[in-house]
């Protein structure tokens, strides 16, 4: 089937949000570890969280912490922390968020052409994703019911690399995986899309120059068959992956 649907990750694919978000939740994770008596304390920072948890949502991070440090969180505690993290991160995004370089003209061209359905498929909470799109004005490109969150849109919250959110999105959109292309910047996001049998463009644009080759290898190993360095390359890369 011909490609007629593009599924975009949000964080560091459409908007440069990862650094801001991880700065916002590092203090909260440190607080949780202190409350649970983790010793020695991990002293997370924004950069260390990016290294360890890129592509995961906050609920996924909490699950990883419980496994790593052997402490439990009740469902109520987890939900409370998730809401607190959303508030902190959204405040940071509203202050400083900017779009990924070069993405806006590509979205404009796709919207003007009108032949391709556009959707956002994210691990992050729906409230945060919609706030991100609104801050940079990208909500004009995506119908409100074409924005999907692994943390919010599913009956049971999950996080990438679980493919559930991609499977949910294509079902809701009335599409087959073969009609879709995903754009992802992380290992977990790429695994989520490819496990749903969706062809995936790996985007390494937001990474530092000395990390791009490493991340290209990571994304290819996760199943991305085409790698994009800059959004200017998108039409070429879309044509390339459409032939696969």
Q: Give tens-digit pLDDT for 83-115.
A: 998 899 999 999 999 999 999 999 999 999 999
In the chain, the N- to C-terminal Cα span, in Å, equals 11
pLDDT of res. 148: 98
Q: Could you state, in order of their start, the residue ranges of all structural domains in the chain?
A: 5-16+98-242, 18-96
CATH of 5-16+98-242, one of 1.10.1060.10, 3.40.50.620, 3.40.50.1000, 3.40.50.300: 3.40.50.1000
Tell me which of 138 and 159 has the higher pLDDT: 138
| Residue 204 main-chain phi, psi, to 5 deg | -110, 10
| Residue 192 main-chain phi, psi, to 5 deg | -60, -45
pTM score above 0.75: yes
Mean pLDDT, to the nearest integer, of 128-146?
97
Phi-psi region of 63 (alpha: psi -120 to 50; beta: other; left: phi over 0): alpha
pLDDT of res. 100: 98
pLDDT of res. 14: 98
pLDDT of res. 200: 98
Alpha-carbon span 185 to 203, nearest angstrom? 5
pLDDT band at 47 (very low <50, low <70, confident <90, very high): confident
To the nearest 10°, the Cα dihedral for 139, 141, 146, 152?
-30
pLDDT of res. 27: 86
Alpha-carbon span 132 to 184, nearest angstrom? 17
Q: Give tens-digit pLDDT for 165-197.
A: 999 999 999 999 999 999 999 999 999 999 999
Q: Give tens-digit pLDDT for 186-236.
A: 999 999 999 999 999 999 999 999 999 999 999 999 999 999 999 999 999
pLDDT of res. 60: 86
- Is residue 57 scored above 90 in pLDDT? no
- Please name the residue ranges forming H helices in the chain: 18-35, 46-53, 58-69, 75-96, 103-113, 126-135, 164-173, 187-195, 209-221, 234-242
Q: What is the mean pLDDT of the chain?
A: 94
Other CB atoms within a 10 A radius of the CB of residue 141 amount to 20
pLDDT of res. 21: 85
pLDDT above 70 as % of the chain: 100
pLDDT band at 48 (very low <50, low <70, confident <90, very high): confident
- Is residue 32 scored above 90 in pLDDT? yes
């Amino acid at each position: 089937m011909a490609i007629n649907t593009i599924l975009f990750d949000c964080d560091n694919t459409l908007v440069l949000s990862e650094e801001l978000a991880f700065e916002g939740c590092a203090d909260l994770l440190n607080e949780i570890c202190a409350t649970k008596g983790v010793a020695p304390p991990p002293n997370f920072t924004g950069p260390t969280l990016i290294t360890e948890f890129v592509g995961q949502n906050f609920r996924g991070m909490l699950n990883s912490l419980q496994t790593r440090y052997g402490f439990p969180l009740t469902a109520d505690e987890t939900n409370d922390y998730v809401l607190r993290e959303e508030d902190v991160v959204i405040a940071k995004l509203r202050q400083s968020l900017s779009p990924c370089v070069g993405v806006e003209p590509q979205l404009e061209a796709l919207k003007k052409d009108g032949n391709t359905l556009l959707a956002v498929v994210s691990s992050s909470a729906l409230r945060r994703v919609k706030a991100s799109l609104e801050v940079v004005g990208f909500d004009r490109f995506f119908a409100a019911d074409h924005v999907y969150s692994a943390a919010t849109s599913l009956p049971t919250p999950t996080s990438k690399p679980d493919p559930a959110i991609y499977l949910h999105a294509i079902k809701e959109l009335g599409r087959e995986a073969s009609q879709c292309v995903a754009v992802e910047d992380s290992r977990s996001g790429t695994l989520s899309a490819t496990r749903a049998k969706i062809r995936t463009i790996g985007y390494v644009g937001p990474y530092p120059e000395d990390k791009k080759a490493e991340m290209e290898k990571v994304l290819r190993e996760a199943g991305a068959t085409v790698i994009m360095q800059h959004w200017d390359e998108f039409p070429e890369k879309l044509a390339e992956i459409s032939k696969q």
